[in-house]
Each structure stands twice: as structure tokens, then as C-alpha cells.
Amino acid sequence: MVDFDKLNSELKEDTHIDELNLLQKQLMLPGIKHKWVSRLINQKRQLAILERKKKLAKQGVLSSLEIPPGIPKMSLEKKIEESEVISKLNQEIEDIQITIEYFEKVEQILRSMTYDIKNIIEINRLETT
């Protein structure tokens, strides 16, 4: 499970801009973007792995059940989804999906930082002339 408090404080540090660190942040921005995009891709990879595990687990649960003939497919699907293994995987998938959404929002924030830095520089330039 991801510690969102830790991520939030790290993001706050990565996105903090003031007059003293403006040039430093401008130079570090590509590396900061890479760090967060890398985390996003890693979570997407983890999601794909969990979805494959879920598919295999469903097949395993299906093969372990004694299925009498004439059972409706919907009832069978519901029974499989209620199994402990599948429920646990569903929770892990949901957690990763939330984390992916968070990292996508972070990427949007970092994308806009380029414009924010440009605007700050422009404001500073106007103030000094």
C-alpha cells in the first residue's frame, strides 16, 4: 500500500518554488518529472500483473469448484468474485487504480510547472524594469 502522506510531502517539496530556488527548480524539473512518471508507469505495470493474477486465480477457483450442470453463468461469476482470493486481488487492484489516478494528477501538475516557472520569471523581469 502506498503512503500518500509521504508522497504528498515529497510532492510539496518537489513543487515548492520561491525566488531563491527558481533556477534550481527550473533545472531539476525534467528529473522531477521523470521520477513521478516512472512511479506512474511502475504502478501501471503492477496493475497489469495483478489483473493477470486475478485471471489465473479465477481459473483456479473455477477448477476447484464442483459445478453441477445447469448453473447460470452469472451465478457462477458471482460465486467466483466472492471468493477470498479474488476479493483480495480486487482490493489490491482498486488501491493501485487510486494510486495511478494520483500519479496522473501529479504529472499534470508537473506539466504545468514549466508555465508557472516561465510566468514567475516574466513577473520578476517586469518588476525589475
**DSSP letter, residue 65:** S
b/e code 88-125 from CB counts within 10 Å (16+ = b): ebeebbebbeebbebbeebeeebeebeeebeebeeeee
Q: How far apart are CA 119 and CA 122, in angstroms?
A: 5
Q: Give tens-digit pLDDT for 44-73.
A: 999 999 999 999 998 887 777 666 777 776
Average pLDDT, the chain: 89
pTM of the model: 0.80
Q: In terms of Cα–Cα distance, which of 99, 104, 115 is closest to 29?
A: 115
Rounded percentage of the chain residues whose pLDDT exceeds 90: 54
Quickly state the pLDDT bin for 126 (edges 50, 70, 90).
Answer: confident
- Report pLDDT for 116: 86
Question: Which has the higher per-residue pLDDT, 12 or 23?
Answer: 12
